[in-house]
A and B are shown apart, each in its own frame.
Chain A
Amino acid sequence: MGSKRSASSAGSPSRKSLLPILLVALVVMALAIGLVATPVAAHAYLSDSDPGNGEQVDDVPEEVTLYFSGDGVVNADVVVEGPDGDPVSSEPEIDDEDSQIVRVPIDDADAEEGMYTVDWEVLAEDGHTTAGSFFFAVGDEPLDRAAVLEAYEDGGEGEEDESIPPFEAAAKALLLVGVAGLIGIPAVATAAVGPVFARADASHRERIGGRIGTLLAGASGLAALGAIALGLARATALGPLSAETIVQFAETPLGQAWLVQVALAVGVTGLVAALVRGHLPRRGSLVGTFLGALAVAGTIAWTSHSATAIDRLNGTIVDFVHIIGAGLWVGGLAVLAFVVVPTVRNAHPDDRPVLLANVIRRFSILALVGVTFVVATGFVLASWHVPTASGLTDTFYGLVLAAKLLLVAAALALGGLTRYVLLGRLESDATKETLDGSRPASTDGGSDGPSRQLTVSRIARAVRLEVTLLVVVLVLSGVLTSAPTAAVAGTGTDGDAPIEATIEYEYDDVLVEVTAFPAANESIDDSFELRTDEPIVFEVGFLENGSTVESEQPVRLLASGGDGTEIEVELEETDDGTYATVQPLPDAGEWELRVTGAPDGSYVSEWIDATALPAAEHAEHDDGPNHDHGEEEHDHDRDHEPADETSPFQTLLEFGAVATVIVGSLAVAVEGLHRRSKND
């Protein structure tokens, strides 16, 4: 029974020192969550420009400046086309001090008046590409309606590609699975498995070492492969994959982070190879692997949505802790499933429940820490990237996240079943059979009651299923980190679909339709809600029995602002028989619009209330009229895109994060005390 004694009493010194450290880590984490709970976006999204979208300027500007929110820009492809459609810009430049600002010099405009189109495509620090276009006009001439409509139909400022790059998502999934394994396997092997099997037979220890080595080899291979593939996938954003593209990508900050990542992953792979071949001391190799995995995780976190969009330090920390938590949980389960259970099956029947129970108990503390890490930081990440409840159901990111959460919940349930039901049953069966002396002799000379055997099998199945679920979760995480977050996907500043607002009036047989496009919202109570400094296409149609009626007098639009500003324009007849003009409202506030015309000789005059929302409410980038993007201002903006205020849903998620840390800390403490009392 030496093995039994050794199994039950091993590792006490380690246990005593580990618990306070973990509790301190959890408390620090709770404090950190409170400090970093700020909403952010991800990817690089155009939040403003100078000249602004649709802005009418007197002269051709010397340069066009694009201000991005979310992630910084590592590569920009911006072309400004003049009124005749020819490019008039030279190479864009990313601001040295603020990578969210891109400047495009205009060098060949010949001071030509007309509409200028800006087509942009940028590679963000998170490795994702966004693109769009906007326009501005030079001179006093009213904008051409057709050109404006075409510009809006082309997407205005935002034509972001929100599709998921499959190759990149797959590479990221491989990397995450590999890194999770490289974190969790050495940790659990050292903290849980090693002490329990320290005094086991050498054959057991050797078998365990071999299995752990195999697991680590697989994990390191996945990590190295994923890292390399991820960089190659991201390099394609700069052009077709080639040596030149890779070199070009490697010169960007993102590419440099990738090089470090690949180097670390390959280094860890080498370390694991040395471990497997026995060239290095086992314990030292495990520690080295663990540290190397943390470094790789650090590079992942460094280039994550959170790090690039919110704050490099806070985002990196949260993402880093998230990965560590996942690693402890998933990697540990992998050890349990593929190392401990097979080894325990080959142990002496009397030792099996004790060995398994001891490993599970030790692992439970690490797993609880990991779960606390991953769930708490998960809440924080969700509060950043899914700021509203609707984002959970209305966006691809939200749906994937929801699926991931369901799988995590199922895995947690399985973990709870293993720890609190099956483990208890295993220990109870062992105690009962020992007390009544009824256990039959096993075929190998020991005692292995059918009940305990059944419980061990159930534990093995539950653990395997749990680790399978969590690997799927990691794959989904790869998809998530490659997708636009719900904070910006489809609902971001630049992703808004232009709204057409229409108000109708009936006059005898004539129906008068007044349309404003784009509007901030649908028309409410026969009033428009528009945006300032945005070229708005006003269209007036006179309909009689469904057919357009010609106006015998000019159709006019008078815009009367609250501060006395008066703008009166004559609408031009369009091909479809309506009358239209393009007219921005220069000032925010209340406006009265008057439309006059004479369909079939009947004089019509209609007053419409309109509210012009400040452009800042649209662009979320209040820069004032001079577009003075100071460093401080831009940083402020960076922290508050796209929402300025915390939503109730975000508050709930942040509360969940803190609650998770508190509950997790208590659970870890209780688990530690319970283990200590067991040993005592």
Chain B
Amino acid sequence: MDASIARRRFVQVVAGSSTIALAGCVGGDDDADDGTGDDPNGDGDDPNGDESSGEGSEGFIYAFAPNTIAIIDPADGEIVDEIADGLDDEGWGDPRITADYGEIYVTRESPSQVLVIDTERREIVDEVDIGPDPTHMYHPNDDEMWAHSDGEGTFYVIDTDSHDVTEIVESGLENEGHGKLLYHEDLGSTGYATNVNDPGVPVIDLENYERSEFIEFADVDDQGTHYKAYSPETELAYFEFGDETVVVDSESYEIVDRLDFAGGMYLSPDEAVLGVLDGNSIRFLDATSEESEEHGVVDVDEGPDALRYHEAEDGTLYAFTAHTQTDQASIIDVEDLEIVETVDIGDIERPEDAHHLHRSGVAGGGYFITPADADGIVAIVDMEAQEVVDHVEVEEGVDTVQFVGDSGGGYSGTLR
């Protein structure tokens, strides 16, 4: 442990009367950002063009490996810095960058904590104790990070100024289970949680830090909810529930549809297309359609994951997906519903006892960035040129990446 990090003793007292800035209401971030990173700052500057103000990390990639966090300049394909102090065979969960890109929060499996990294100083500045088995983390407003404790089925709300846990929000009905949070600026102070143990969706009051309601999908006890997405155009929320996708009207909380496929869901930057990972296929739905009409299906056959979009200069929408079964990524023309290119992105570990394989990937700075833990590299793909520009050697086990800038990540497709 880094002795300079004051993690040993802290207490957070609930400030029950604190007002929470609603998601998207304060930061002024462009929810419609497509996440491709063409202009992450929105000011027209090249993200890598100016490093004059201190060390900084703008436009860089933080790659999380067991014993190091490598800071990669994707333009040069080089590691510009490393953070290794206090890291020892870590298991990483979600990283999440603040709206101002000043800090990256990343969940650490053991001890169950959230590490706070100052992107300007490129160092870990705090370790925040949270509940057991944290995986996902969300940033529904500028002032808070919500880290989900799968061991408790709760969200630990971390103040981004003080780095204190200010609230613990009970989400899952059974006080445990892997969970996620769906939020969007259009949803106001309402969020929807998923939990693999719950046969429905807990509605979370983001302002009052409580589970206000539960939308039940079925009277069963052997299925739960997992992936989620939201279409602001139709105000429909999509939830993976067993082998189907349940579509819920976010206004009335009524179930309006049940789609007979399910998987990870990724909204395009223009919020018009919703890609659903359905086994070895990717289904592209019309996110503007009340009926969730399907544009078509693309068979990838090699375990597509980590779907990210890029709108080319000619206006064509491409989807980039990293394979879990091969060392490649496919580039899909969404309009033509065909794979137009495959690129070598390195290989991942495939443990025999793994229930399912996962491969992360983000978009940012015009790059599709995905780690390959078996090869210990981070692959950087130029999304416009549709070619690999570098395989940056980091460390075996590197499995998580975060772009400093607008990565357009998250299952909803929003910035946060």
Taking beta carbons and an 8 Å cutoff, which residues of A are in contact with B? Answer: 505, 507-508, 552-554, 556, 558, 560, 564, 566, 568, 592, 594, 596, 598, 601-607
Q: Which chain B residues border A594 with CB–CB below 8 Å? A: 111, 129
Alpha-carbon distance A556/B152, docked complex (angstroms)? 11
A602 touches B11 (CB 8 A): yes
Among residues of B, the one whose C-beta sits closest to the C-beta of A607 is: B8
Alpha-carbon distance A607/B14, docked complex (angstroms)? 20
Alpha-carbon distance A605/B114, docked complex (angstroms)? 13
Alpha-carbon distance A556/B7, docked complex (angstroms)? 17
Within 8 A of A (CB), among B113-172: 129, 131-132, 151-152, 154, 156, 164-166, 168
Within 8 Å of chain A (Cβ to Cβ): is B289?
Answer: no
Q: A558-B111, A560-B110 are in contact. Are A606 and B152 (CB under 8 A)?
A: no
B112 touches A507 (CB 8 A): no
Q: B10 is contacted by which of A564, A601, A605 (Cβ under 8 Å)? A: A605
Q: Which chain A residues border B151 with CB–CB below 8 Å? A: 568
A601 touches B132 (CB 8 A): no
A566 touches B110 (CB 8 A): yes
Not counting A507-B11, A603-B14, A606-B8, a sample of 18 additional A-B residue pairs whose C-beta atoms are within 8 angstroms of each other reads A505-B9, A556-B131, A560-B110, A568-B151, A594-B111, A596-B129, A596-B131, A601-B14, A602-B11, A602-B12, A603-B11, A603-B12, A603-B13, A604-B11, A605-B10, A605-B11, A605-B129, A607-B9
Q: What's the least CB distance linking A215 to chain B, in Å?
A: 77
A606 touches B9 (CB 8 A): yes
Q: Which chain A residues border B164 with CB–CB below 8 Å? A: 603
Q: A564 is contacted by which of B9, B11, B88, B168 (Cβ under 8 Å)? A: B88
Among residues of A, the one whose C-beta sits closest to the C-beta of B12 is: A603
Q: Which chain A residues border B110 with CB–CB below 8 Å? A: 560, 566
Summed over the interface, the residue pairs from A and B with CB atoms below 8 Å come to a total of: 60
Alpha-carbon distance A564/B89, docked complex (angstroms)? 8
Q: What's the least CB distance linking B169 to chain A, in Å?
A: 10
Q: A505-B9, A564-B88, A602-B14 are in contact. Are A558 and B154 (CB under 8 A)?
A: no
B154 touches A553 (CB 8 A): yes
Among residues of A, the one whose C-beta sits closest to the C-beta of B110 is: A566
Q: Which chain B residues border A601 with CB–CB below 8 Å? A: 14, 16
Size of interface on B: residues with Cβ below 8 Å to A: 27
Q: Which chain A residues border B129 with CB–CB below 8 Å? A: 594, 596, 605
Alpha-carbon distance A598/B156, docked complex (angstroms)? 12
Q: What's the least CB distance linking B386 to chain A, in Å?
A: 42
Alpha-carbon distance A535/B8, docked complex (angstroms)? 25
Alpha-carbon distance A560/B7, docked complex (angstroms)? 14
Alpha-carbon distance A560/B1, docked complex (angstroms)? 12
| A-B interface, 8 closest residue pairs, ranked by CB to CB distance from nearest | A605-B129, A607-B8, A603-B12, A507-B11, A603-B165, A601-B14, A566-B110, A602-B13
Alpha-carbon distance A489/B81, docked complex (angstroms)? 63
Q: Which chain B residues border A556 with CB–CB below 8 Å? A: 131-132
A508 touches B13 (CB 8 A): yes
Q: What's the least CB distance linking B172 to chain A, in Å?
A: 13
Alpha-carbon distance A508/B341, docked complex (angstroms)? 61
Q: What's the least CB distance linking B64 to chain A, in Å?
A: 18
Alpha-carbon distance A603/B89, docked complex (angstroms)? 28
Of the A-B pairs whose beta carbons lie under 8 Å apart in the complex, a sample of 29, sorted by A's number, is: A505-B9, A508-B11, A552-B168, A553-B168, A554-B131, A554-B152, A556-B131, A556-B132, A558-B132, A564-B88, A564-B89, A568-B132, A568-B151, A592-B1, A594-B111, A594-B129, A598-B168, A601-B14, A601-B16, A602-B11, A602-B14, A603-B164, A603-B165, A603-B168, A605-B10, A605-B11, A605-B129, A605-B165, A607-B7
Q: Which chain A residues border B168 with CB–CB below 8 Å? A: 552-553, 598, 603
Q: What's the least CB distance linking A604 to chain B, in Å?
A: 5
B111 touches A566 (CB 8 A): yes
Q: Which chain B residues border A505 with CB–CB below 8 Å? A: 9
Q: Which chain B residues border A602 with CB–CB below 8 Å? A: 11-14
Within 8 A of A (CB), among B290-333: none
Q: Which chain B residues border A605 with CB–CB below 8 Å? A: 9-11, 129, 165
Alpha-carbon distance A605/B149, docked complex (angstroms)? 15
Q: Which chain B residues border A603 with CB–CB below 8 Å? A: 11-14, 156, 164-166, 168
Q: A560 is contacted by which of B14, B16, B111 (Cβ under 8 Å)? A: B111
